[in-house]
């Protein structure tokens, strides 16, 4: 299988790019949600850079269909708290779709404008459209496996 390696510098640049996009929209989250596992590293970087607190959400659909439901995050989302959900890649869209369903966001008017989704890499044919991204790919045209620096050992 063809592999595409993402560098640590690319992740740092992508995080800054996403922050810039949010601020250009004049939108700032009350907190960032890093989706385990891959979303944790960019979420920590963004939290340190912006000073916005960060929480985690465990959704591992690929790794054994494990996930947790953080009811308080759902309550926050439905009460209008600004939340940014961040993951390393929006590949198929299933993770973000699961969160949207779990948090019952489809019932919120105005396309749940207070909850936004971001990914370092966005696979254009995904079933989910993220609000913010930095690197776009198309796995239909180039089915490469994306390898992040935190996934590789010497």
pLDDT for the residue 7:
96
pLDDT (tens digit, 9 = 90+) per residue, 75-110? Answer: 898 888 999 999 999 999 999 998 998 888 765 555
Whole-model pTM: value is 0.90
Sketch the domain layout of the chain as residue ranges: 3-151
Placement of tokens 């960019």 in the chain = 42
Peptide bond into 122 cis (omega under 30): no
Backbone conformation region of residue 51, classed left if phi is above 0, alpha if psi is from -120 to 50, else beta? left
Residues 42, 86 contacting (CB under 8 angstroms) = yes
In the sheet where 31-36 sits, what is the strand order? 66-67, 54-60, 31-36, 83-90, 115-123, 132-137
Topology of domain 3-151 in CATH is Rossmann fold (3.40.50)
pLDDT (tens digit, 9 = 90+) per residue, 17-64? Answer: 999 999 999 999 999 999 988 999 999 999 999 999 999 997 765 555
- 94 CB contacts (<8 Å, ≥6 apart)? 61, 127, 128
């Amino acid at each position: 299988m063809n592999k595409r390696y993402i560098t640590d510098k690319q992740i740092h640049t992508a995080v800054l790019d996403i922050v810039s996009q949010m601020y250009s929209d004049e939108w700032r989250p009350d907190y960032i949600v890093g989706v385990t596992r891959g979303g944790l590293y960019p979420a920590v970087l963004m939290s340190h850079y912006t000073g916005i607190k960060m929480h985690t959400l465990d959704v591992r659909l690929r790794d054994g269909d494990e996930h947790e439901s953080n009811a308080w995050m759902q309550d926050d989302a439905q009460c209008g708290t600004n939340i940014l959900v961040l993951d390393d890649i929006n590949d198929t869209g299933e993770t973000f779709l699961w969160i949207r369903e779990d948090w019952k966001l489809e019932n919120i008017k105005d396309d749940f404008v207070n909850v936004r989704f971001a990914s370092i890499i966005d696979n254009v044919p995904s079933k989910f459209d993220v609000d913010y991204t930095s690197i776009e790919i198309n796995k239909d045209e180039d089915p490469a496996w994306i390898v992040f620096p935190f996934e590789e050992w010497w």
